[in-house]
Structure 1
Amino acid sequence: MPFIKKELPFLLLICIFNLNIYGQSMIKGKIVDGENNTALGFTKIINIENNETYYTSNPDGTFEINKAGTYTFKKEGYIEKSLKLEENQFYIIQLNINPSELNEIVINANHIPKQLKKSTASINIISSEDIQRSNNIDFAPILNRTPGIFMQNGALNTNRITIRGVGSRNLFGTSKIRAYFKDIPLTNGSGATTIEDFELASISRFEIIKGAASSIYGAGLGGTIHLTPQNSYLNNSNINGEFSIGSFGLVKGIVNVNHGSLKNSFRAVYSNTHSDGYRDNNSYDRQTFTLTSNHFLSKKDELSFLGSFVNLKAFIPSSINETAFNENPESAAFTWRQAKGFEDSKRGILGVSWNHEYNSTLNQSTSVFTSFRNAYEPRPFNILKEKTFAIGIRTRLLGNSKIFDNNLNWTVGGELFKDNYKYATFDNLYQDFPAGTGSVEGDKLSDFKEDRKYYNVFAEGNYEISKKTTLSIGLNLNETSYVLNDRFPASTENPDQSGEFKFKNIISPKLGVSHLFSENFSVFSSISHGFSPLSLEETLLPDGQINNSLKPETGWNFEIGARGSTTNNRLQYNISLYRLDIKNLLVARRTTEDQFIGINAGRTQHDGLELALNYNWLNNENISISSFINYTLNNFTFKDFVDDSNDYSGNDLTGVPSDIFNTGVDFNSTFGIYGNINFLYVGKMPITDSNNLYSDRYSLTNFKIGYQLNLNKKLKLNTFIGVNNIFDKHYASQILINASGFGGNAPRYYYPGNPVNYFTGVNLNYNF
């Protein structure tokens, strides 16, 4: 007992000390990119009260803190964020990218997170600020700010995107370029891609891989456009409404709602757009609804949903001949106006993604998706009915290993895609009815069903030879096949066209290296292989049989480039030189007004230079002024091109401008005024393979200014006004290459661009 009395104070002290230790609760969390949820390692975590750096996040973005308080999270390339952290909680910290430090951001374009400045491929980021510079109606002004990319738009629903000249020979729409909305393919089973139907307000970022430089996405010589939907934000609830009007009867409304708790978040975006259009038979009506949600089920599991629905009815003015283009550009093609041609389509996509962390060095991501499209399109030569239904799965493992004490980041996975395409044509009897009646459906002319499928198996690894040098090796295996079922009764005039077409397995390798000469300057180089599949329509011969001798276009891309910035980060620059050699050039030879056959006719050589400069002239607490210059120089030629008896070898590639120059100035201030001015120059384009006709070079100047005001702590007001084509330039916004005249009519090469036009609107944002 005397011993216990003597030692009692000491024992009590030990107990109190132990209780204090075990009573402290660790604060845990993970730091991610706010739009694509890529983990952000090595983020500084600073306590605001004493400005002491307590921790730096782990390579996988996780962190632990043993003291409650308000902390600031700082990482190069991202806007810093402050948040009050409480004990006994697990936090997901979402950081948004800083547009003035794009080379520093962590990209996920090839599924292996890495800083853009360490990438071995030519990748461009279009941020949400870039998207908001324009009138959120057209994709073209946004994409055309990126070197190497050119989007022509004959109307809001008539577009063609080319990357480094690839896809320029596709007569209608975009082909030979892959596109994804998050992990969901927007490219159908025959290689056609449509992105312009989506609402720009539902997109937060574009990541664009140029050239055949990705082993992850498979078929697509031109590259890949990755659309990142507006993410749903945690710990935030707000509603944003926007209403705008403009020239040519433009009326648009947007409602954007976000609700987020600690671990679950939801975002819904609805838009309604109407335009009468500049030209005859040019009205446009579109409604969209996009839903995203994120659910952090545990420290190791994340579930996300993505759904999108588009309801579109857009009339088609089509292309016109040179006389009409110069004298009456607002006119529609005569037959399209008489038939009142239009497209009426409904499309939807739905995807579920699951991310699981097995341990700190191994993750798995799996997405299951489905999509559909139903369309009705009366044209002067027939009426087309289409139904497409697609399903697929994409899964990949992402790991980090050590080899000779150096990091190897790797991914391996696969994608399986299948779509069913049913289409039928009907006689259009519009000529048998009084003028103004429009299209009238007649007898069925054809009835087809296509089953199209492909699979990609891919692997890619980035090995850090040293802290400054990264070696990238990738491999893609693709198999694509089609089955055509002709469901129309066979006859002498309509032979049975049923059949199968299957590509041989195509293996596409990639090798790249990047080296950091300093923290602000890096050089990269790559050699990569790619291919583009044929569409089933291109394989059909006039006698109705499938031409199994056709080969897909394949090519090698050779590139060297540099990225960097000045020490104070005021100037950022990216430059690249490349050569893309394509063989088995596929030519669509027109046989009738609505029929084409495909032939392999030679090779093309694409030599180019791409330059991007961004400079911050002024950046203080009150005002920021920045400018950009983007330049693309294209030297694209037919290396070997013989079409029937015509030898076009050595000619310029059709449908691609000689060069593109884009520059602009952005202004922002804390007192609410902001604005930008943008100048675009587009060089001349060959319209015919013989190069006997070129489009005129043109320039456009656009301007936008706005005012933002905090009405109270929760309500923000934003008003804006803009003018496009300020100097009212007459130009062709899209051309139809190698157009033929039928019935003695002149060829219709030109889609007139809009003259000077304005838009204005108001935006209200309320934070709950």
Structure 2
Amino acid sequence: MKSLFRNFFIITFFIQVATSFSQVLVKGKVVNEYGIALNETVIINNKNKIIETTDAKGFFEIEKEGLYTFQKKGYQLKSLYLKNKEFYTVQLTLNSLELDEIIVTSNHIPQKLKKATASIAIVSQKDIQRSNNTDFAPILNRTPGVFMQNGALNTNRITIRGIGARNLFGTSKIRAYFKDIPLTNGSGETTIEDFELASIANFEIIKGAVSSIYGAGLGGVIHLNPKNANFNEFSIQPEFSVGSFGLTKSMLTANYGSKKHSFKAVFSDTYSDGFRENNKYDRKTFTLNTNHFLGKNDELTFLTSYIDLIAFIPSSINAEAFRERPESAAFTWKNAQGFEDSKRVVFGLSWRHNFKDNLKQVTSIFTSFRNNYEPRPFNILKENTFATGVRSRFLGDFKLFNKKLDWTFGAEFFNDVYNSITFENLYENFPADNGSVAGDNLSDFKENRNYYNIFSEANYHFSEKTTLTIGINLNKTWYNLEDRFQVSENNPDQSGAFSFKTIVSPKIGLSHLISENLSVFSSISHGFSPLSLEETLLPNGQINTNLQPETGWNFEIGTRGNFFNNRLFYNLSLYRLNIKNLLVSRRTAEDEFIGINAGETQHDGLESQLIYKWIENKKLSLNMFVNITANNFIFKEFIDDKNDFSGNDLTGVPSSIFNAGVDFNFQKGFYGNINYQYVGSMPITDANNLYTDAYNLTNLKVGYVFSLLKEIKVNTFFGVNNLFNEAYASQILINASSFGGAAPRYFYPGNPINYFTGINFNYLF
């Protein structure tokens, strides 16, 4: 009996000892830049090379403290020292050279890019850093299918697959989000160029009709994903740069991350005299992004951005001035010293909750406001907008016929109130150096603009290789206009309401993995773009209820893949986008337009992207990229008054765009890139009797990274834009009219050769 008791005691003792040595000491979770859990992430102990992996929800448990390397295909390696009895949130950054392996979230259901049934472009942090972090255009214009014209830092027009090209001033018919916060107002106009590039981690761009997900989105959606702070890190990063035309830019980035909470703040101050007359630009921004993991099932994120901008406006010039005096401003804008003084704030709060492994919800509330004062030669505009909204969706999965089905269902409501007042501009009655002077009140409007979307999407996995996507969106949009100006014979009361019919936008797509590294996809999707209240107003003050929103169908096939052991990545898409109820802004005076439905357009195109790793070793990384956009956009049917433009090329869109570049990075710290872009000619008029000249641009940037002491990393850089001093039109004003016998002002001149240089310090505490 004693022997039995002794043996039992010994066995129990050794079990307890073994258990104590094998107990879990470190726990954590691995996520990507969007906070999406990364399953099957490999965790390597740098000392004994023991390998662990994360589970389906991204969680891991490790028995011993030490230095570990986190490895996930499609993401950059990350090393972190893990201490006993601590919980860590480990965030991985995407690798721009393995795009098909990354997880995209812009279609609401997270999935690998190579399984997506839509055409999605990723603009990575590396793509952003190829340029001078001041101008959006060089970055977006390297994306196939996307074209950004920029007459100045504050004067831009973005088109996707030709959609939005007919908007005269700014970007329209394309939606944009800063994380979950809409940047598109109630009239469908979008401004993203005011935001600080250094606060953006990457862009996800869905090209084509996307109304099945986001409601009004005929051309596509641009997602600006803000930089998140690194967890378990405290750092400060000041940067200062200078450049041509009086450019000075200072920035300060602060990062604080604990094991469950992170805070990143970015302040920037940008000033430029500009290449042209009346072209000064002065912008200050502050962006704060925080992430909080409250437990295994709850995550809270907070995002706010403040922008204070004063930018003068040189406007467009005629052909003679464009050839002989490209630095000149339009005569009237110069004398009036036209400018915009804008203050803008956006705010969003998102809550993610996991009910269980296969069911969670994401709810975001957001608000924004913008105040703007803009003296123009024809009047002085004072406006403000206040917007609020909420977007909530459930995500889950279940088995259907023994196959997995991922689904999402949700709704979004948006309201903005827009107030606008105009005054006479009496600048002509005062000395030229006085600039604009406000006179009598000309108008006073209040617009209440609303919409809601109810949406659903599902991915049904027939097998590990084949996925069917079905989506549908129901949208309702309505406006109310209050004319608060005194009513008279010459100024009829324009108050009224306009409500669109409910629009249903479906989508169906299919993707198939031919092999682990090669996939094909196809999709059919519907899209629409609503009218603005201004476009519905007739000269007699009545609202034109006969106008219809532009609608269209996008048909697409494509393929993605990588070869040669992940050294070559490619993306190829062929599409046709048919638009009906083409909306035309017919100009009736210098600042007066009316909208008409004038016909149909047909957008046929090819988009191709190729990335190749020439050399990838410990001493040198050498990569190249080639992007091709080929457009055949025509007016299928277009009758404007007595003019029949059917069969003509679509105005304001280049026939082709070609981008190529080389990036290199030496282990010792020297890096750089050179980029070449060709932009084909663009029709300036609907009659196609005037085209721009095609042009070629070459930009380069080089830099050197080194360590100063153990905690400080220094990055010095120098760049040149338009290396060969090409004369070109960086933006055009289509169908410009002539007033008072003056020649039409079609052209915004691009900047001649210009440079930038700077230094960045990263101090890691």
CA distance in 2, matches of 1:401, 1:214: 26
Q: Which residue pairs with 1:445 in the alignment? A: 442
Q: Which residue pairs with 1:504 in the alignment? A: 501
2:638 aligned to 627, 641, 645, which one? Answer: 641
**Would you say 1:731 and 2:709 are equivalent positions?**
no
Q: Which residue pairs with 1:527 in the alignment? A: 524
1:124 aligned to 121, 124, 142, which one? Answer: 121
Within 5 Å, which residues of 2 pair with 1:21-40?
Answer: 21=19, 24-25=23-24, 27-33=26-32, 35-40=33-38
**Would you say 1:386 and 2:383 are equivalent positions?**
yes
Q: Which residue pairs with 1:281 in the alignment? A: 278
**Would you say 1:661 and 2:658 are equivalent positions?**
yes
Within 5 Å, which residues of 2 pair with 1:178-193?
Answer: 178-193=175-190
Q: Which residue pairs with 1:754 in the alignment? A: 751
CA distance in 2, matches of 1:62, 1:506: 42
**2:433 alignment partner, SS class:** coil
CA distance in 2, matches of 1:229, 1:588: 35
CA contact (8 A) 1:252 1:274 kept: yes
1:201 counterpart letter in structure 2: A
Deviation at 1:740, TM superposition (A): 0.2
CA distance in 2, matches of 1:738, 1:657: 16
2:5 counterpart letter in structure 1: E
CA distance in 1, matches of 2:422, 2:638: 33
Q: Which residue pairs with 1:560 in the alignment? A: 557
**1:99 alignment partner, SS class:** coil
CA contact (8 A) 1:349 1:372 kept: yes
CA contact (8 A) 2:96 2:126 kept: yes
Q: Deviations over 1:95-151 (max 9, x none)?
A: 111111111111111111111111100001001111010011100000000000000
**Would you say 1:542 and 2:539 are equivalent positions?**
yes
Q: Which residue pairs with 2:246 in the alignment? A: 249
CA contact (8 A) 2:211 2:217 kept: no
**Would you say 1:684 and 2:665 are equivalent positions?**
no
**Would you say 1:47 and 2:45 are equivalent positions?**
yes
2:8 counterpart letter in structure 1: F
CA contact (8 A) 2:300 2:350 kept: yes
CA distance in 2, matches of 1:395, 1:64: 32
Structure 1 269/87 Cα, relative in aligned 2: closer, same or farther at 3 Å?
same
Deviation at 1:16, TM superposition (A): 4.9
Q: Which residue pairs with 1:133 in the alignment? A: 130
1:75 aligned to 69, 72, 76, which one? Answer: 72
CA distance in 2, matches of 1:740, 1:132: 39
CA distance in 1, matches of 2:205, 2:430: 48
CA contact (8 A) 1:110 1:214 kept: no
**1:746 alignment partner, SS class:** coil
1:702 counterpart letter in structure 2: N
Within 5 Å, which residues of 2 pair with 1:352-363?
Answer: 352-363=349-360
CA distance in 1, matches of 2:46, 2:761: 31
User: How many residues get paired?
Assistant: 764
CA distance in 2, matches of 1:518, 1:719: 43
CA distance in 2, matches of 1:643, 1:542: 18
CA distance in 2, matches of 1:136, 1:243: 12
Q: Please report the RMSD computed on the Cα atoms of aligned residues, expressed in angstroms.
A: 1.2
Q: Which residue pairs with 2:473 in the alignment? A: 476
1:639 counterpart letter in structure 2: K
CA contact (8 A) 1:520 1:567 kept: no
CA distance in 2, matches of 1:288, 1:48: 41
**1:201 alignment partner, SS class:** helix
**1:628 alignment partner, SS class:** strand
Q: Deviations over 1:648-698 (max 9, x none)?
A: 000000000000001111111111111111111000000000001101111
Q: Which residue pairs with 1:424 in the alignment? A: 421
CA distance in 2, matches of 1:408, 1:52: 35
Within 5 Å, which residues of 2 pair with 1:610-629?
Answer: 610-629=607-626
**2:335 alignment partner, SS class:** helix
Q: Which residue pairs with 1:403 in the alignment? A: 400
**1:418 alignment partner, SS class:** strand
CA distance in 1, matches of 2:251, 2:214: 32
2:373 aligned to 367, 371, 376, which one? Answer: 376
**Would you say 1:594 and 2:570 are equivalent positions?**
no
**Would you say 1:112 and 2:109 are equivalent positions?**
yes
CA distance in 2, matches of 1:233, 1:302: 16
Q: Deviations over 1:220-276 (max 9, x none)?
A: 100000000011111011111110111100000010000111111111000000000
CA distance in 1, matches of 2:4, 2:736: 105
Gap regions ≥5 residues in structure 1: none
2:39 counterpart letter in structure 1: G
CA distance in 2, matches of 1:408, 1:703: 47
1:264 aligned to 257, 261, 265, which one? Answer: 261
Structure 1 220/214 Cα, relative in aligned 2: closer, same or farther at 3 Å?
closer
CA distance in 2, matches of 1:120, 1:689: 34
1:175 aligned to 159, 163, 172, which one? Answer: 172
**Would you say 1:10 and 2:8 are equivalent positions?**
yes
1:458 counterpart letter in structure 2: F
CA contact (8 A) 1:448 1:487 kept: yes
**Would you say 1:433 and 2:433 are equivalent positions?**
no
CA contact (8 A) 2:173 2:216 kept: yes
Structure 1 8/476 Cα, relative in aligned 2: closer, same or farther at 3 Å?
same
Q: Which residue pairs with 2:191 in the alignment? A: 194
CA contact (8 A) 2:211 2:505 kept: no
CA contact (8 A) 2:620 2:667 kept: yes
CA distance in 1, matches of 2:700, 2:579: 39
CA distance in 2, matches of 1:522, 1:251: 46
**1:37 alignment partner, SS class:** coil
Structure 1 52/339 Cα, relative in aligned 2: closer, same or farther at 3 Å?
same
CA distance in 2, matches of 1:615, 1:13: 60
CA distance in 2, matches of 1:582, 1:60: 42
CA distance in 1, matches of 2:595, 2:650: 18
CA contact (8 A) 2:24 2:61 kept: no
CA distance in 2, matches of 1:214, 1:549: 22
CA contact (8 A) 1:121 1:213 kept: no
CA distance in 2, matches of 1:50, 1:740: 74
**2:184 alignment partner, SS class:** coil
Q: Deviations over 1:288-329 (max 9, x none)?
A: 000011111111111111010000000000000001111111
Q: Deviations over 1:727-750 (max 9, x none)?
A: 111100000000000001110000
Deviation at 1:6, TM superposition (A): 5.2
**Would you say 1:155 and 2:156 are equivalent positions?**
no
1:114 counterpart letter in structure 2: Q
Q: Deviations over 1:592-627 (max 9, x none)?
A: 000000000000000000011111111110111111
Mean alpha-carbon deviation: is it higher for 253-262 or for 207-216? 207-216
Q: Deviations over 1:526-585 (max 9, x none)?
A: 000010011110000011111111110000000000001113111111000000000000
CA distance in 2, matches of 1:676, 1:222: 31
Q: Which residue pairs with 1:318 in the alignment? A: 315
1:153 counterpart letter in structure 2: N
CA contact (8 A) 1:294 1:302 kept: yes
Within 5 Å, which residues of 2 pair with 1:54-69?
Answer: 54=52, 56-69=53-66
**1:215 alignment partner, SS class:** helix
1:323 counterpart letter in structure 2: E
TM-score, normalised to structure 2, is: 0.98
CA contact (8 A) 2:317 2:748 kept: yes
Deviation at 1:444, TM superposition (A): 0.5
Deviation at 1:167, TM superposition (A): 0.1
**2:213 alignment partner, SS class:** coil
CA contact (8 A) 2:211 2:528 kept: no
Q: Which residue pairs with 1:229 in the alignment? A: 226
Q: Which residue pairs with 1:714 in the alignment? A: 711
